[in-house]
């Protein structure tokens, strides 16, 4: 389990969803490098999945989800 020093809050956008949660990123590492080096999936903890359109509803909340790297269009800290 990630500790507070390695947890990085992220927002991930796919074609249909906005995903908010945390990834395990080593201090000093860049988010871009993490995504480039990720295998097929990115692990997101304390995940919330929302419909992407304006006013979209929350469709899922889970302690852990894997997000397919191929479906990620935008990823940003915070």
pLDDT score at 49 = 98
pLDDT score at 70 = 93
Q: 50-71 b/e with 16+ CB inside 10 Å = b?
A: beeeeeeeeeeeeeebebeeee
pLDDT score at 25 = 86
pLDDT score at 1 = 52
pLDDT score at 39 = 87
Q: Flag residues of the chain having pLDDT under 50.
A: none
**Domain 7-77 belongs in CATH node 2.30.30.100:** yes
pLDDT score at 43 = 94
pLDDT score at 2 = 58
Residues 6+ apart with CB under 8 A from 47: 19, 20, 21, 60, 61, 62, 63, 64, 65
């Amino acid at each position: 389990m990630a500790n507070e020093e390695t947890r990085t809050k992220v927002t991930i956008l796919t074609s249909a969803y906005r995903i908010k949660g945390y990834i395990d990123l080593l201090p000093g590492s860049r988010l871009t490098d993490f995504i480039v080096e990720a295998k097929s999936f990115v692990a997101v903890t304390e995940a919330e999945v929302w419909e992407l359109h304006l006013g979209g509803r929350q469709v899922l909340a889970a302690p852990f989800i894997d997000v397919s790297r191929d479906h990620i269009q935008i990823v940003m800290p915070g």
